[in-house]
Amino acid sequence: MLNIINAGIDARAGPLEHKLQSFAPLQTADLEAVRACHDDLRTTPAGMDVAPPGAGPDVVRLVVSGWAARARVLRDGRRQLVQIFLPGDLIGLRLLPGSSVIALTPVRTADAAPLATALKARNGAHARLRVAWERLEALRQQQLLDHLVRLGRLSAYERTANLILDLMDRHRRAGLSDGTRMPWPLTQEMVADVLGLSIVHVNRTLQQLRREELIVLRAGQLIVPDRVRLAQAACWEPAH
């Protein structure tokens, strides 16, 4: 409530705002609804669970900064990260059973309720917002299917390159990258758990990508010097 004004403090557009705008131009009322999502701001330290202590089933949280992931852990300890959340992504905490959302880095999240209520508005308000939202949801579904193909049909080498391009594109759409560089806070263990590989093999695969200069990894930043070549290695399908 208090911070429609405060929200303006941040010079650059928020990543969620940027993503939505890339699908459909928003109106001022829409923008206000998005920017109002700064309530109940909380920081989750790396490795911890993002769900608030007494989280209801229908909570939706907006990632303001940092990375998180939805994790499924098997009884014998095997772990699969099924989805990565970047700044500007929304985390629906409803479908809990069996999976949890953990912070990969320190993560700041906010209550996304204002956005949710705007989307549920009965009157015709927020039409543009709703369109952009729909497209964004469709894209999210696509990304899940992309991940399925990655795990099912790509080699370790292709998988790794593919994931990098995926994350890069998402950063760009959120206005957080120009498409050639982005932050890279993931340990090789995290990458392994995303890609369904062993740590050791991830290490060797990343080395190969660096040796071939498809990626440069330095100081927590990842650089893609030649997107075309990386896309080839990644078995990347442009389209969506």
Partner DNA sequence: CGTATAATTGAGGGATATCAAAACCGGTGG
Partner DNA sequence: CCACCGGTTTTGATATCCCTCAATTATACG
CB of 40 to a second copy, least distance (A): 24
CB of 218 to DNA, least distance (A): 10
CB of 6 to a second copy, least distance (A): 34
| Tally of helices (H runs) and strands (E runs) in the chain | 8, 10
How many residues belong to the site for DNA (CB under 7 A)?
16
The answer to whether 130 contacts a second copy (rule: CB under 8 A) is: no
Full 3-state SS string of 32-90 = HHHHCCCEEEEEECCCCECCCCCCCCCCEEEEEECCEEEEEECCCCCEEEEEEECCCCE
Q: Check: CB of residue 16 under 8 Å from CB of residue 119.
A: no
Is the torsion defined by CA of 130, 133, 137, 138 positive or negative? positive
Find the largest Cα–Cα distance for the chain.
57
Burial degree of 58 (CB within 10 A; 0-12, 13-18, 19+)? exposed
The answer to whether 201 contacts DNA (rule: CB under 7 A) is: yes
Q: What is the CA radius of gyration of the chain?
A: 18
Nearer to a second copy, 83 or 109 (CB): 83
Structure tokens at 79: 């772990």
CB of 144 to DNA, least distance (A): 21
Q: Which of 32, 196, 216, 229 binds DNA (CB under 7 A)?
A: 196
CB of 127 to a second copy, least distance (A): 15
Q: What residues from 18 to 37 belong to the interface with a second copy (CB under 8 A)?
A: none
CA separation, residue 82 to residues 9, 71, 118, 147, 193 (Å): 34, 6, 28, 8, 9
Q: Which helix (DSSP H) or strand (DSSP E) does residue 92 occupy?
A: strand 90-92
Q: Which of 4, 55, 60, 206 binds DNA (CB under 7 A)?
A: 206
The answer to whether 221 contacts DNA (rule: CB under 7 A) is: no
CB of 156 to a second copy, least distance (A): 12
CA atoms within 13 A on the CB side of 105: 16
Name the segment binding a second copy (CB under 8 A); options: 72-80, 164-172, 199-207, 208-216. 72-80
Q: Which of 122, 124, 211, 218 binds a second copy (CB under 8 A)?
A: 122
The answer to whether 200 contacts DNA (rule: CB under 7 A) is: yes
Point out which residues bind a second copy (CB under 8 A).
70, 72, 74-76, 78-80, 82-83, 94-95, 97-99, 122, 138, 141-142, 144-145, 147-149, 151-153, 195-196, 235, 237, 239-240
